[in-house]
């Protein structure tokens, strides 16, 4: 079991191995592994035979096991207080434990209700614990590795990508653009007058401003876009599948979000800032990620020199586009 699960490089694939083999341990048509996610509620990492109604019930029962580190069983989830609006199905949920803690829950569902909740004799529980422990170690190791990789590519202050992750993303997206001739755009954003915030309000307030800017950028982008802090008060954004017009619109939208926001309200202050935005796009032409970033950085420099609070575009092979406010 550990060899099969341990070969999988991420938690979801490890969980998929576990659900594939669970039927050999206990007979049930539906199996799922529920585990925690960073900063959020537990999720179904993998599932087999689950319908749209079963998935929330599995998540609810698995969450109960994660909180209490105990086996849970139910004769009828539709009447189980632990599972709001559950289906008419019997269920059993087992903790996947290692290193003195429960790292996930294995949940099995039957196709109908039972006369009583499934019971697992002590000998069977001990046997299942021995079988499931290697899977728990594999899941925990995969999650630790995933977390380490995420932290290695994350800016400590803002939680955005750092320069390393930005470089990797640019390399990957520029290679895809070269293969498919699809457009790729990059934005570089720099705050206007940020030094004055540090001078007048202190560096702690300055850090808080950067955190608020990061949230404004993150919330103003698509899921496929990648935003990074490049250091200081400079940010970069990778926009896949985006032509010049779309990049200008995105840069202008983000510039307006920053200009319209009141910073440091929670600290009892009201700070206004603007930003300059430089952009570049391949328009489907082959170009390295670093070359595209350099073009966007040059466009940013032009916007700063023109007075700031502007969005400027340098498409490859196109006339520059500038919007000033």
* 258-310 per-position pLDDT tens digit: 999 999 999 889 999 999 999 999 876 667 888 999 999 999 999 999 999 99
Characterise 306 by phi-psi region: left (phi > 0), alpha (psi -120 to 50), beta (else): alpha
Active site residues: 233
- Pinpoint the residues of the chain covered by CATH 3.30.450.40: 2-152
Q: By C-alpha distance, which of 228, 128, 94 is closest to 168?
A: 228
Q: By C-alpha distance, which of 111, 105, 145 is closest to 18?
A: 105
Q: Give the pLDDT of residue 325.
A: 52
CA 293, CA 281: separation in Å to the nearest integer?
9
Higher confidence at residue 117 or residue 277?
A: 277
pLDDT band, residue 181 (cuts 50/70/90): confident
Asked whether 257 and 293 are in contact (CB, 8 A), the reply is no
Provide the 10 A C-beta neighbour count for residue 303. 29
Write the DSSP string, 211-257: HHHHHHHHHTS-TT-EEEEEETTEEEEEEET--HHHHHHHHHHHHHH
pLDDT in tens, 307-321: 999 999 875 654 344
pLDDT in tens, 212-246: 999 999 999 998 999 999 989 999 999 999 999 99
Asked whether 185 and 282 are in contact (CB, 8 A), the reply is yes
Q: Give the pLDDT of residue 1.
A: 45
Q: Give the pLDDT of residue 178.
A: 85
Provide the 10 A C-beta neighbour count for residue 144. 12
- pTM above threshold 0.75: no
- Pinpoint the residues of the chain covered by CATH 3.30.70.270: 163-324
Q: What is the architecture, at CATH level 2, of domain 2-152? A: 2-Layer Sandwich (3.30)
Average pLDDT value for the chain: 89
Q: Which CATH superfamily is domain 163-324 in?
A: Reverse transcriptase/Diguanylate cyclase domain (3.30.70.270)
Higher confidence at residue 318 or residue 111?
A: 111
Separation of CA 272 from chain center:
29
Residue 75 backbone dihedrals phi, psi, to 5 degrees: -80, -30
pLDDT in tens, 36-83: 876 568 999 999 998 888 999 999 999 999 999 999 999 999 999 999
């Amino acid at each position: 079991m550990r060899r099969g699960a341990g070969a999988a490089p991420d938690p979801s694939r490890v969980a998929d191995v576990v659900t594939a083999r669970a039927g050999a341990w206990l007979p049930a048509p539906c199996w799922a592994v529920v585990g925690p996610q960073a900063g959020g509620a537990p999720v179904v990492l993998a599932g087999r035979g689950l319908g749209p109604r079963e998935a929330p019930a599995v998540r609810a029962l698995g969450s109960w096991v994660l909180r209490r580190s105990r086996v849970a069983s139910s004769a009828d989830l539709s009447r189980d207080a632990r599972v709001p609006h559950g289906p008419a199905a019997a269920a059993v949920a087992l903790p996947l434990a290692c290193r003195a803690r429960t790292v996930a829950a294995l949940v099995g569902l039957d196709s109908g209700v039972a006369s009583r909740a499934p019971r697992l004799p002590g000998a069977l529980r001990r046997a299942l614990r021995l079988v499931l422990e290697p899977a728990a170690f594999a899941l925990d190791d995969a999650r630790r590795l995933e977390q380490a990789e995420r932290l290695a590519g994350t800016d400590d202050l803002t939680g955005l990508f750092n320069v390393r992750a930005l470089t990797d993303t640019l390399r990957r997206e520029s290679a895809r653009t070269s293969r498919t001739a699809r457009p790729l755009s990059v934005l570089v954003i720099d705050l206007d007058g940020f030094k004055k915030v540090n001078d007048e309000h202190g560096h702690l307030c300055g850090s808080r401003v950067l955190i608020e800017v990061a949230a404004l950028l993150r919330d103003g982008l698509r899921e496929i876009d990648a935003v990074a802090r490049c250091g200081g008060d400079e940010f970069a954004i990778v926009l896949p599948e985006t032509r010049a017009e779309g990049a200008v619109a995105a840069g202008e939208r983000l510039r307006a979000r920053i200009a319209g926001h009141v910073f440091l309200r929670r600290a009892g202050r009201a700070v206004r800032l603007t930003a300059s935005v430089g952009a570049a796009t391949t328009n489907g032409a082959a170009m390295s990620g670093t070359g595209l970033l350099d073009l966007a950085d040059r466009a940013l420099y032009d916007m700063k020199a023109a007075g700031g609070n502007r969005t400027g575009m340098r498409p490859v092979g196109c006339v520059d586009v500038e919007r000033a406010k």
